[in-house]
Structure 1
């Protein structure tokens, strides 16, 4: 039987959970939130240092990109949360807002309501309300040594989340007393007691139903059964930068030629659906150390410290420190982030460590390259085509920036503080020096995603944008998008924070 509500939300991640909470706060409306995965009940969800144990589990969409010619023709593993809380239930919990200039760049595309002056008020609401943003409880001594090393290399150390970061910081984390605090914890769970909110798990959205130019509901596959959840007012897609464009394409909203290729009837020719894909590429260099790395996190002493006091290695978010630098002195703002993890986090997080190690490396936070998300087939349960086209910009600016970042990391490795810590090089393999040849090899062999895809349903004031500044899908009444896919440009930061902001702004727009 069909179900009906005023609002139907697809996805319960960083933005979708916010919408479920804010919209259901009005007792006069009814809300159904659809989650393709199960509840976030797995024990590894709560334990911060254990997030990689969720990779390639039933709680992960477990995506692979197309082969990437610029980085050794490798296919990159893209984990995406498939549970209540979405990726906020399996990310590294880093609360990194980005630069004020990043949001002002959004405003240049989509109007002043997206400027930093406007969203700063939302950040204040979020950080003082539903989400717990805390300092780390048990950072590693090696993290402190790395921050000393970056100072010895000439970089300043400062507090996190300044409007215009100018140096390095220990990471602020989305945790409460040493345990993960996701959007499901902060927004969704408190709203579940409301009679006007229904959350359906195991409910994979397969198509938005459009009748005479208006979205009227969502077709779902729930444990092998097809059914429809109808919307009196609006359908809101918050399925993320991969699954939201995929769902629009399955619904006939996208490039006409691409839809024809897969036999999907065209509802609206919107060529940019799935285009403008941007992501943060990271190259973690690995260094052998004598001890005190998260290689010991599963020892009985650490387990006891976590269970009894919420202290110790298991409270680590892995990426314990970071900072921003410029790849060239003529740049107005940084284009690179350097990240440090006191852990042998190798091989896209899928490898099994065999010894103590730490990693640090550059992240390309303002890439010039653009990719796409598309359909592989008209089967709604088939995985999509994901082609980020890393380092593909014709001028080679992205590759040059990454090499500059790797060279900066090599200099940091030569500081006195790091020489007291490092006993050898673990990645790239089979080298004892970080010369340019070794760094080029690291870029080819060790690079992977930092899990920040955005931009595939970009917002804008121009008619070619997928959604308008109020996040309404152009040409379709009663349909909005509210997630990382609407970002016109990627931020110099981590995408959980701006995605929560998008959820808050979307709720304001819908309620108004």
Structure 2
């Protein structure tokens, strides 16, 4: 098996698939894309409403956090895609760009190439919609972003409730002033449009692009500067007493050790290695490769190439706390009826086309003013699902109901990704540190967001479709709204699947990658995925992760 290419991309997810496909548009270069998971062949990967059935399965890394002290000591399930398309093959397909101010904040940290003005053309390139009148219409993008084909009537009731409560109803994805709207989705005619669908399949016939699945990358290799020249089983052995390397010149990435069919091989990169494993796997791989906090690497016997303290630090995620009132019939509780499958397979219509998170809206609580957040920007997103989304999506839908969730958009708390051991098969240690900011801003914001959810439930529009009973919290009809909010935050909060920041980009010397996504302290190595985001956006991370892949390709081609 020849594993030599000009560029090696590690991870075929939202950013990695886009990056590899764009790089291979140049016929003069070769690209090797390595994906640890299997091909995206399962039907559930393509049927939108089936995404939670993939959790804990063969296409999911199946991560869990360490116990979270502010969430009743619970571990929180973190699904991440382990297949072609990565998490774009596993997510809820919500296409929510975020606010212009989010990207201008990136530009403050990492230079003007990451500003809203600079990134808008990339969003438009990706957002090739099917509606010529759509303001999001792109011209040359491979991704299909469309309006939902068959939303539940409950979603219209939710938007009516938002208007009744005084919230603005606006088009989706405004750069500023975004209110409540039906969600745009990354779908094509009612089916999921992952980056495997949108980028890799159109590029399948290119002879210069090779995609290898079932390929677990163990670490990046360097020369010179790799301290230990001895080998063990085809791979350099770890030093017994690691110290900071002092090479004659800056270490250069030469490739990766990759495990395929239980055999470790050396894949060689003539030009560059690009890590696109995401906010968990990328910092883990950097640390396994000797780039990370020196004391932590030494604990695991890993020779140190670069002492980079911010690798695995700065972890941010969107925490969501949901309440689920009982509702009258017609919710997605009936999505698994045989007739719905027939309708989907024959016409791409019906409940199975639902992305579940059918609507969302943004609001600013009083907590944002207290914490000094810039004026005009939200601190809470309200997400709506025409189904009771409970048990972190790991349990069967318990009955007819709806879900309103309060999403903490800009957490003050920070977490970490750390190694469990020097074995790449061992899952990383994930500690998002939910609600641990010492000022308590995050908790107050979540409770304020849940209070806004309660006000929406109490509108005439939602009272008309609910029964007065509660699915979550159980027995909620016997509680006051503040009691429901406190219990929901502590017992039912979970991730909204948006971890970022663990290999942040910046112009400062402590940043993990520079504004061109090059890893500091070495050459020939870049990162292109959500881990480079210095701050989490007020939106959903799939769209900007794909854009990062697009920008990375232009950086490598010298077009930025």
Which range, TM-score by smaller chain?
over 0.9
Which 10-residue stretch deviates more, 435-444 or 29-38? Answer: 435-444
CA contact (8 A) 1:327 1:401 kept: yes
Q: Does 1:401 align with 2:413?
A: no
State how 1:209-220 maps to structure 2 within 5 Å.
209-212=221-224, 213-220=251-258
Counterpart secondary structure, 2:543:
helix
CA contact (8 A) 2:220 2:253 kept: yes
**Which residue does 1:343 correspond to in 2?**
387
Report the alpha carbon displacement of residue 434 of structure 1 after superposing the two structures with TM: 4.1
CA contact (8 A) 1:252 1:264 kept: yes
Counterpart secondary structure, 2:17:
helix
Deviations 1:308-363 (A, max 9, x none): 11000000000000000012173511011000000121010001123111111100
CA contact (8 A) 2:387 2:397 kept: no
**Which residue does 1:446 correspond to in 2?**
492
Report the alpha carbon displacement of residue 85 of structure 1 after superposing the two structures with TM: 0.3
Q: Does 1:249 align with 2:287?
A: yes
State how 1:92-107 maps to structure 2 within 5 Å.
92-107=92-107
CA contact (8 A) 1:60 1:81 kept: yes
Deviations 1:177-229 (A, max 9, x none): 00000111111111121111110000011100011200000111112111111
**Which residue does 1:14 correspond to in 2?**
14
Deviations 1:78-117 (A, max 9, x none): 0000000000001000100000000000000000010000
State how 1:254-333 maps to structure 2 within 5 Å.
254-328=292-366, 330=369, 331=373, 332=375, 333=377
**Which residue does 2:76 correspond to in 1?**
76
Question: 2:391 and 2:547 mapped to 1: Cα distance?
Answer: 32
**Which residue does 1:224 correspond to in 2?**
262
CA contact (8 A) 1:156 1:167 kept: yes
**Which residue does 2:473 correspond to in 1?**
428
Question: 2:277 and 2:480 mapped to 1: Cα distance?
Answer: 41
Report the alpha carbon displacement of residue 2 of structure 1 after superposing the two structures with TM: 5.8
**Which residue does 1:205 correspond to in 2?**
217
Unmatched 5+ stretches in structure 1: none
**Which residue does 1:118 correspond to in 2?**
118
* Match of residue 422, structure 2, among 371, 378, 383: 378
CA contact (8 A) 1:48 1:179 kept: yes
* Match of residue 235, structure 1, among 273, 276, 281: 273
Q: Does 1:466 align with 2:512?
A: yes
Question: 1:165 and 1:143 mapped to 2: Cα distance?
Answer: 21
**Which residue does 2:247 correspond to in 1?**
none
- How many pairs align? 512
Question: 2:361 and 2:2 mapped to 1: Cα distance?
Answer: 50
* Match of residue 174, structure 1, among 180, 186, 208: 186
Report the alpha carbon displacement of residue 508 of structure 1 after superposing the two structures with TM: 0.4
4+ residue runs over 6 A deviation:
none
Report the alpha carbon displacement of residue 243 of structure 1 after superposing the two structures with TM: 0.2
* Match of residue 195, structure 1, among 207, 229, 252: 207
Q: Does 1:31 align with 2:31?
A: yes
Question: 2:321 and 2:439 mapped to 1: Cα distance?
Answer: 20
Structure showing greater radius of gyration is 2
Question: 1:112 and 1:196 mapped to 2: Cα distance?
Answer: 32
Q: Does 1:480 align with 2:526?
A: yes
Counterpart secondary structure, 2:535:
coil
Deviations 1:249-281 (A, max 9, x none): 000100000001111111110010000000000
Counterpart secondary structure, 1:441:
helix
* Match of residue 362, structure 1, among 406, 423, 430: 406
Counterpart secondary structure, 1:58:
coil
Pair 137,263 (structure 1): closer, same or farther in 2 beyond 3 Å: same
Deviations 1:123-171 (A, max 9, x none): 1111122111100000000000010011111101111001114310000
Question: 1:136 and 1:218 mapped to 2: Cα distance?
Answer: 41
RMSD: 0.9
Question: 2:101 and 2:263 mapped to 1: Cα distance?
Answer: 47
Question: 2:6 and 2:255 mapped to 1: Cα distance?
Answer: 10
CA contact (8 A) 2:172 2:178 kept: no
Deviations 1:359-409 (A, max 9, x none): 111000111110000100111100000000000111000000000000011
TM-score between the two structures when normalised by the length of structure 1: 0.99
Q: Does 1:90 align with 2:90?
A: yes
